[in-house]
């Protein structure tokens, strides 16, 4: 109970911070946001390469319970999910004049992650992916802020027909806003991983191992973005649906440099991190171990949304990670000996 009380306090304390200081009305208040959108999935799904966004309206319920709306633009994003899923991952754009007095103040562009298909287990996958964002936010401020949303999505179909879906979703902070928050700059070009800040890069690598995610490249900004905080390059991860913690039915073992990694399924952990000095490696290892109780308590924030059994399974999966980190021999064989 002590750990649960601590993480609940940690999770909702930003609500008090915002109430007092008004820092970020969208991401610092963490209860799920209720919102509604009407769109043509076909038209939005085909918009990824368009130069302009498709005009829509976003309806939402503010923290006081009042329903409001703002004009937005929508555009598809992503690669795999855009090809394989019914619901496209989306960019939401908004103009300053439309959001200056709203919950979305300070945001110009936001990612909206939706389930792949319309089924309860797909909503559960979104909830588990949301946990990945919260795990990394617990480890470091050099992360994307995220917020869970309940989305009433009305799909426009042929012959003026519509179909309604009740979906879970994740709003994810844009890299430009994250960089500004962290007093850094965005980096568009690819950077050698040896140029990264050692501590931040190793934290990134250990986290990917913790959630059993191999579908990333920090150097080539695949499912990650780079920011520059003089003199350091720092990677920020996103999109965790291929991780073992989420264990999506469509997830496949990653192919790296033309070869499939030597694991049989995505739930098996395989370390792909860069070799760092023994001192840095041990420092970040101890950092993870010092936050064990906090990290293991994160799944409890979804009590009532995920089943107790699912929450227990996630905790057990995270505990397997700590078995490796707490054992010197396993840490040597599974991490140090596999670094590149």
DSSP-derived secondary structure for 46-110: T-TT-SSPEEEEEEEE-TTS-EEEEEEEEEE--SHHHHH-SSPPEEEE--HHHHTTSTTTT-SEE
Residue 11 has pLDDT above 70, yes or no: no
Beta-bridge partners for 167? 151
9-23, 176-190, 314-328 — which is least confidently predicted? 9-23
Domain that includes residue 324, residue range: 182-338
The answer to whether position 5 is within a domain reads: no
Most confident of 5-14, 41-50, 72-81, 295-304: 295-304
Q: State the Cα–Cα distance between residues 23 and 141, nearest whole angstrom.
A: 15
Query: What mean pLDDT do residues 43-54 have?
Result: 89
Per-residue pLDDT, averaged over 224-232, amounts to 95
Same domain as 334, residue 186: yes
d(CA 214, CA 205): 10
Q: Is pLDDT of 20 > 70? A: no
The CA angle 24-242-108, to the nearest 5 degrees, is: 25
For 305-326, what is the mean pLDDT? 98
Domains of the chain: total: 2
Confidence of residue 23 (pLDDT cuts 50, 70, 90): low
Q: What is the pLDDT of residue 62?
A: 84
Together in a domain, 203 and 320? yes
Does 101 fall in a domain? yes
Long-range contacts, stretch 56-60, CB < 8 angstroms, 24+ apart: 58/92, 59/35, 60/33, 60/34, 60/35, 60/36, 60/103
Given its phi and psi angles, is residue 160 left (phi above 0), alpha (psi -120 to 50 degrees) or beta? left
Residue 254 maps to a domain: yes
Express as a percent the part of the chain with pLDDT over 70.
Answer: 93
Beta bridge partners, 20, equal none
Taking residues 303-329, what's their average pLDDT? 97
- Report the alpha-carbon distance of residue 178 to residue 335 in Å, rounded: 30
Residue 12 lies in a domain: no
Same domain, 60 and 161: yes
Matching residue, tokens 């806003």: 177
With 90 as the cut, is the pLDDT of residue 1 above it?
no
The yes-or-no verdict on residue 249 having pLDDT over 50 is yes
Same domain, 88 and 152: yes
According to the model, what pLDDT value does residue 319 have? 98
For residues 169 and 198, membership in a common domain is answered with no
Q: Which of these three, 174, 195, 222, is where a domain ends?
A: 174
**Are 68 and 190 contained in the same domain?**
no
Residues 158 and 275 placed together within one structural domain of the fold: no
pLDDT at 161 over 90: yes
Q: Is 143 helix (H, G, I), strand (E, B) or coil?
A: coil
Q: Tell me which residue of 29, 101, 27 sits closest to 63, measured CA to CA.
A: 29
Percent of the chain, pLDDT > 90?
Answer: 81
Q: What is the structure's pLDDT at 159?
A: 87
Please indicate, yes or no, whether residues 87 and 198 belong to a single structural domain of this protein. Answer: no
Task: Report helix angle 308-326 to 278-290, nearest 10.
Answer: 150
pLDDT category at 2 given cuts 50, 70, 90 is very low
How sure is the predictor about 19, in pLDDT bands with cuts at 50, 70 and 90?
very low
Contact 88, 68 (CB under 8 A): no
Give the integer Cα–Cα distance in Å for 199 and 284: 7
Q: Helices marked H in the chain — which ranges?
A: 2-21, 41-45, 80-84, 96-99, 120-139, 175-181, 198-210, 278-290, 292-297, 308-326, 328-334
- Co-location of 235 and 156 in the same domain: no
Residue 125 resides in a domain:
no
Q: What is the predicted pLDDT for the residue at 7? A: 42
Within-domain flag for 121: no
169/211 same-domain check: no
129 belongs to a structural domain: no
pLDDT higher at 122 or 335: 335
18 has pLDDT over 50 = no
Q: How far apart are CA 36 and CA 69, in angstroms?
A: 9
Same domain, 238 and 166: no
Q: How do residues 250-295 score in pLDDT, each as one tens digit?
A: 999 999 989 999 999 999 999 999 999 999 999 999 999 999 999 9
Which of the residue ranges 42-51, 84-93, 137-146, 176-185 would you say has the lowest mean pLDDT?
42-51
Q: Final residue of a domain: which of 174, 190, 224?
A: 174
In a domain, 163, yes or no: yes
Same domain, 161 and 212: no
């Amino acid at each position: 109970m002590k750990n649960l009380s601590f993480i609940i306090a940690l999770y909702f304390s930003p609500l008090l911070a915002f109430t007092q200081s008004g820092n970020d009305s969208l991401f610092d208040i963490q209860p799920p946001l209720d919102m509604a959108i009407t769109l043509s999935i076909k038209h939005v799904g085909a918009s990824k390469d368009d130069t302009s966004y498709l005009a829509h309206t976003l309806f939402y319920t503010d923290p006081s319970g009042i329903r409001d709306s703002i004009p937005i633009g929508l555009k598809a994003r992503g690669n795999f999910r855009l090809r394989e899923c019914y619901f496209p991952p989306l960019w939401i754009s908004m103009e300053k004049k439309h959001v200056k007095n709203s919950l979305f103040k300070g945001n110009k562009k936001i990612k909206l992650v939706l389930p792949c298909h319309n089924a309860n287990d797909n909503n559960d996958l979104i909830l588990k992916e949301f946990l990945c964002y919260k795990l990394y936010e617990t480890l470091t401020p050099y992360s994307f802020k995220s917020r869970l949303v309940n989305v009433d999505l009305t799909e426009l179909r042929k012959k003026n027909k519509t179909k309604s879906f009740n979906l879970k979703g994740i709003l994810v902070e844009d890299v430009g806003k994250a960089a500004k928050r962290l007093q850094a700059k965005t980096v568009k070009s690819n950077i050698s991983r040896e140029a990264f800040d050692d501590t931040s890069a190793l934290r990134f690598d250990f986290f990917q191992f913790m959630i059993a995610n191999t579908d990333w490249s920090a150097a080539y900004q695949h499912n990650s973005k780079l920011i520059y905080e003089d003199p350091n390059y720092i990677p920020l991860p996103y999109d965790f649906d291929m991780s073992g913690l989420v264990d999506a039915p469509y997830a496949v073992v990653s192919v790296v440099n033309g070869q499939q990694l030597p694991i049989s399924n995505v739930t098996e952990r395989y370390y792909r991190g860069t070799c760092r000095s023994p001192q840095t490696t041990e420092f970040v290892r101890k950092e993870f171990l010092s936050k064990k109780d906090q990290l293991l308590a994160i799944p409890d924030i979804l009590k009532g949304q995920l089943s107790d059994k699912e929450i227990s399974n996630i905790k057990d999966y995270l505990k397997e990670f700590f078995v490796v980190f707490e054992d010197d021999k396993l840490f040597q064989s599974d991490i140090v000996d596999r670094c590149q």
